[in-house]
Homo-oligomer: A and B are copies of this chain.
C-alpha cells in the first residue's frame, strides 16, 4: 500500500499535520521529560501517529539546536590489539543503554594521531571522550578536561589527577603474582617491565619494586629490563637481554601477556623450557592465552567492566550540570589466574601450591 520508492524522511511537521497540532506540541509529546505538559489523549494520538509514520528524530537538527550529539569519541591505540575489544565492547554497552553511540579511532601509539583524532571528534561535536591511548604526560588531554569537555581515560591514566579514569588495580595484580611465585619457592624473579611512559607499565613496575624486597626476593638491578612496547617482539628482546647479562632467575614477571608470549618463545629458543626451567607470568588474561602451550598464568582484568564503568561515568559527567563534577578515579579489582606457565621451583609438576619451602637443588 504505502510503497514509496524514494522515501523522504518523516519530520515533526509531518506528524503534526497528521494529528492536526503544532510541531512544538509533537516535540513535547515525544520527549518523555516534557510529555506531562501535554493532554494525555493528545499525547497518545501523537505517539501513535509518530509510530505509524515511522518518525525518527533527525539527529543533526537535534544537535544543531541543543549542542549535544549523544556521540562520544573513543580513542584506542589499535583495536586489533586483543586487550581493547572487550573494553570497547563494555563502553558501547554502557553507552547504548543510555542512547549514546561511540565513534572510534586508532592511534597506533602515535601521539600526533591522538591529537588529530581528538580534533576530528571535537569538530563532530562529541559530548565526551574516552581515551585508552594516553601516555602519562599528556598536556593536550589535561587541556581538554580543563576546557570543560568531559573526558575519561580507561585502562590507563594520566599523571594529572584532574582527568577522570577507570583502571585496574595494578599494584595488587603484581602483588598477587609475586605472592604466587614466592609460594612456589621462587626467590630470583626477573621483571620485564612495560614502557614507563604508560601508567600501566609504570604502576606494574612500581608494584614490583615495592613488593619484591618485603617478600624476600632478590632485588638485583640486573633482574629488571624495560620493554619499549607491549608486544611479543619486545618480550623476546628483553629475554635475550636478560640471558646475555648472565642474570640468574627462576621466574619472569612480565608486564603484560604479549610480553610473556614473546618471552616464552625466546626462552624456548635458548633451550629454557617454561615452566620446567623458568616460570613466566603475564598480565591482562587476553583471549587465547589459556590455549597456549603452556597455558599462561596471568592477572585477569575485568576488561568489559572497565569499559562499562567508563561509559557510565562519562554519561553521568555529560548529563550533570556543567562544572558540577570532580574527576572520579575508579580502580577495579583483578584476579590471579594460575595456569601451566608457573610451577614450583624444580618440582615435577605445576600444581597450584603453597609448597612452603621447596627444596632447592643445584642443577
Contact = CB atoms under 8 A, between A and B. Distances in A.
Interface size, A (range):
35 or more
Interface string A269-305: 0000000000000000001110111000000000000
Report how many copies the assembly holds. 2
Contacts of A119: 56
Contacts of A58: 64, 123, 125
A125 B60 contact: yes
A105 B92 contact: yes
B86 A80 contact: yes
A84 B82 CA distance: 11
A104 interface: yes
Nearest to A323: B6
Nearest to A289: B288
Interface string A235-275: 00000000000000000000000000100010000000000
Interface stretch (A44-52, A95-103, A159-167, A215-223): A95-103
Contact of A291 (B7, B59, B85, B292): B292
A147 B205 CA distance: 57
Given A71-B103, A79-B88, 19 more contacts: A56-B122, A58-B64, A59-B125, A60-B60, A60-B61, A63-B63, A78-B89, A79-B85, A79-B92, A80-B85, A80-B89, A80-B287, A88-B104, A96-B105, A102-B104, A261-B291, A288-B288, A291-B293, A293-B293
15 contacts: A5-B147, A7-B147, A56-B119, A56-B123, A59-B60, A59-B123, A59-B124, A60-B61, A79-B79, A80-B89, A82-B85, A84-B85, A85-B85, A102-B103, A288-B291
Interface of A: 5-7, 56-61, 63-64, 69, 71, 78-80, 82, 84-86, 88-89, 92-93, 96, 101-106, 119-120, 122-125, 147-148, 261, 265, 287-289, 291-293
